[in-house]
Amino acid sequence: MRIRTWIWLGTVLAFGTSSHAASVETIDLKAFVRPALFESIGVEWTLPHGRQVLDGTPFQIDGEILLYRTNSAQKALTARTNVNNIPVGRRFERLHLLAGAESSTSDGAIIAKVRLSYADGSNSALDVRYGDQVRNWYGPWHKKDKPLKDPNAREVWLAQCAAAAAGDNYLRPFHVTLTQSRRGADGGGDEHRAGCQRTGA
């Protein structure tokens, strides 16, 4: 899987795969996470860790994957342009992720592409769009925010801290569910590896 950012996607926290409604398995991302946004504003204590059930979906939360972009806030952070070869090694229909954007852009803009590499050498991609599945990870505290267009995406928890409150905001990640179109003999794709890649805009 590659995630191509337009501004950036803080693919934050964790992934889960599901081939049946009652069966969700997490992908081990410990080797890929690094200190990032929560640590940069000194609020890592607001981030749930370990095994968590959010929006009815189990996640293993071990940290953040931050992809670098050129806005001023991110230039101060050590972030990567690529995170590749995340092992998946199983079939699935839906990919669950917790995600957020550090900046805002036009609704409908593709800020990421999740690229899946299959065992037969083929590839596919799933789009993540601003305003459809995610918005800025700083949500407006006293103002109404536009709803997400994707009915399968939603805020799953919120946290307050001084850095966010100073701008009348709060912290939030989004639960994004992406469904792949490829189907194998058992109804799922035969995923082999994944990766994250930032692109320019």
Neighbours of 177 (CB within 10 A): 18
- Note the pLDDT of residue 14: 43
- Assess contact for 166 and 63: CB atoms under 8 A: no
Given this model, what pLDDT does residue 3 score? 34
Q: What single-letter DSSP state applies at residue 56? A: T
Do you know the residue count of the chain? 201
* Per-residue model confidence as pLDDT tens digits over 104-120: 888 998 887 788 888 88
Confidence (pLDDT) at 70? 54
For range 136-151, the mean pLDDT: 93
Give the residue from 109, 104, 92 showing the smallest Cα distance to 23.
92
Q: What are phi and psi of 125, to 5 degrees?
A: -140, 145
Q: What angle do CA 177, 147, 159 make, to 5 degrees?
A: 75
Q: What is the mean pLDDT of residues 21-46?
A: 74
pLDDT value at residue 144 = 93
Strands 91-92 and 189-197: antiparallel
Between 48 and 179, the higher pLDDT residue: 179
**Does the pLDDT of residue 187 top 70, yes or no?**
no
- How much is the average pLDDT of 74-86? 66
| Cβ(79)–Cβ(4) below 8 Å | no
DSSP 145-188: PPPPS-TT-EE---B--HHHHTTTEEE--EEEEEE-----TTSS
Which pLDDT score is estimated for 46? 77
Work out the average pLDDT over 143-164: 92
